[in-house]
Amino acid sequence: MRADAVERVDSGGLVLLALATWLVPGSGHLWLGRRTKGLIFLVALTAMFAIGLALKGRLFPFESSEPLVFLAAIADLALGLPYFVAWALHLGQGEVAAVTYEYANAFLIVAGLLNMLIVLDVYDTAVGRK
């Protein structure tokens, strides 16, 4: 499997693989034939994002005057396609007064950060480090 991955993915393919993994969590592992891992990542991260939205979390704007808000926006964006779908549907407006607001943001932000780790993992897998 490792040797196959190295043979199949050249440098251009690596960029495409990383982009695909960013856009659809777990897709890179599916691409490399690691179906169980890919499906677990896809389901877990999508569920975390959906729970975050259902609990009235906020998709933070890119506010350069507020460094923490800006970093949270990058973490939200790191989830890829689900972020764009939510943004297009005007979800994730956030309800600060909701008792679940802070937890919801933790779900949204951590889902994005975990997806960054998954992108790194799929890169390592593709170049044969794992």
Under the rule (CB under 8 A), what is the footprint of other proteins? Answer: 36-37, 40-41, 44-45, 47-48, 51, 55, 99-100, 103, 106-107, 110, 114, 117-118, 121, 130
Q: At what angle do helices 101-126 and 35-54 cross, to 10 degrees?
A: 160
4: exposed, middle or buried (Cβ count in 10 Å: 0-12, 13-18, 19+): exposed
Choice between 8 and 130, CB closer to other proteins: 130
Choice between 45 and 86, CB closer to other proteins: 45
Report which residue type is found at 29.
Answer: H
Choice between 18 and 70, CB closer to other proteins: 18
Q: In angstroms, rounded to a whole number, what is the distance separating the alpha carbons of residues 23 and 90?
A: 19
Choice between 2 and 8, CB closer to other proteins: 2
Least Å distance, CB 54 to other proteins, is 9
Cα→Cα distances 93→32, 56, 63, 111, Å = 36, 8, 15, 17
Least Å distance, CB 118 to other proteins, is 7
Least Å distance, CB 114 to other proteins, is 5
